Amino acid sequence: MKKLKNHFMKKFKIYINMKFLICIIVFLSGGLLNTFTLNGQSAKIEDILSIRLSDAGPLLEGQEVRGYYFIYETESANKEMKSYDLRIHDVNLNLLKKKKITVPKTNIIQTVLYNGRSICLKFFDSKEDNYVFKAYDLLGEPLFTKDTDKISRMESYKSTTASEEYPSFYSIPHFGYINYTLTKEKGEKHGYNINLYSDNESTPHWIYNSQSDQIEVAMHLAADSNFAYFNIMKRDAVLSQDVEGYVMALSSKTGKQAFEVPLKNKGYKYLAFSSFIGPTGNLHMVGRYYNEADKVLKSKGLGLAMLEIDPTGKFVNTVLIPSNDKLLLNSGLVEQDEKADKSKYFFFHDFISLDDGRILGIGESYSLKINVLGLAAMAAAGGGQGSTQDLAIEDMYVFEFDKSFNLKSIQRFNKYKSNFPLPGMPLPFPIFYSFYVKERGGFDYEFFQKNADNTEAAIYYMDYEKRAGEANNTVLGAIFATKDGYTTDKFDLQKSADITSVFPGTFGSVVTVNYFRKLRAMDIQIVKLNY
């Protein structure tokens, strides 16, 4: 959601100084002197002190937009405290509710999430060295405040430097929130714990800790009110490339383990990087597949795998798409090279199930590129850590599957190629970089919509257009999937805005939020597209 007025500045803004971004305040700001005016389906906010666009978003009921929420810091009369406003607006941008939230000055806001019936704020308390979670209903009334125990030194470093490789805070639709922390004390191996915070008193808070004596990392797959699913990566030593993947399911209500099974089936092993829970309650996973003897951090991989696992841990469907599949080759996603893995990587952002049985997989291709400027900077500094690689973010794709996940077609939509700087410390596998970039808003995909009868979908993404004879500009691109095929539309975003964010509106429309730094003002408008 964090987009600057041109494609390059967008990437630069997200990456330049993560400590500074943590301190930049949320979506809007201003105290009693701020003004808020409405004119039809638009809004204007003036006297804005600072912004963080990640802490605002749509209030969705399924795929229907019911309104919008905004969190922003206001002036505080107490120098030892911070003051935030939580604002709730309807679908036409009219203000419905405003709630004052006060926290100690040592609390740094990290993430704001909405789960369909409540909003939760995650703070890092730099004094107590722990996390604080505050949840509110859609009338602004408090539901709970929860504190964690003191976190590990590794987790504290991650929070104070924003060096997190994977997302760690997730919402469970109409149920609660899950938070992951890294654990490692003196003499212990790297592990994790998982905390669940329910927004319903009938479900207690629970904690699950990693169980084995191996080094373990937990990555979120998907969750609903019945089960929370995780990809568990285990290895014996920090530098070991012999990593084994598992799928673990915990009861969302109790935190008790339902199963943990190796990511192996039909003579292959798998590395998963996208997932969702289907209409039957089964977990669907998308990733790469390998021979059982392969080391997934070193081997090229044999192609794409679509897996379906039921709540008992049984593989009920496995679809393998080899790298030499004609659809993959024609899509431009695979470059044949027997000696090295030069194929483009692919990250699935979302999956859309339509009433006609089609499943649309939305994603972007990417590849790793050498960062020449980063190498030069490291050399000038005499070595040390720095960004020596970029993630080259490339085209949009829509994979079309049938209800059994058999691949039917791949649609490619060209867009401008952009680079996102990667951390100086290398991650063990290129697919892991996609989680890093996703967390920091580096991909161009924004969101999708479905129409009321679930027969059509709209997919939105940012693009940067170079134009002959006129000024270049950032645009919002739209891909409409109908029963008759695909159509596209786009519109220019504000050239004069310093920062632009886009939210979903009713089907076929979006809400644009433009911030003007010198004017200290925010304009919000509803824009309709053609389809």
pLDDT tens digit string along 93-145? 998 998 989 999 999 888 899 999 999 999 999 999 899 999 999 988 999 99
Dmax (CA) for the chain in angstroms is: 66
291 burial type by CB count under 10 A (0-12 exposed, 13-18 middle, 19+ buried): exposed
pLDDT tens profile 373-398? 444 433 444 444 444 678 888 999 99
Q: In the prediction, which pLDDT does 47 show?
A: 65
Tell me the β-bridge partners of 108.
Answer: 124
Confidence band (pLDDT; 50, 70, 90) for 199?
A: very high
CB atoms within 10 A of CB 200: 14
> For residue range 39-59, what is the model confidence (pLDDT) as tens digits?
348 888 776 666 677 788 999
Q: What is the pTM for the complete model shown?
A: 0.81
Q: Are 234 and 243 in contact (CB under 8 A)?
A: yes
- Least confident among 332-336, 358-362, 493-497, 500-504: 332-336
Reduced to 3 states, what is the DSSP secondary structure of residue 209?
strand
Kindly report, residue by residue over 238-289, the tens digit of the pLDDT.
Answer: 767 778 899 999 999 999 999 999 999 989 999 887 899 988 999 999 888 9
Question: What backbone torsions phi and psi does residue 405 show, to the nearest 5 degrees?
Answer: 70, 25
pLDDT in tens, 201-250: 889 999 999 887 888 888 899 999 999 999 998 888 776 777 889 999 99
Question: Quick one: average pLDDT of 348-360?
Answer: 92
% of residues, the chain, pLDDT over 70 = 80
- For residues 421 and 390, is the Cβ–Cβ distance under 8 A? yes
CA distance 288 to 296: 9
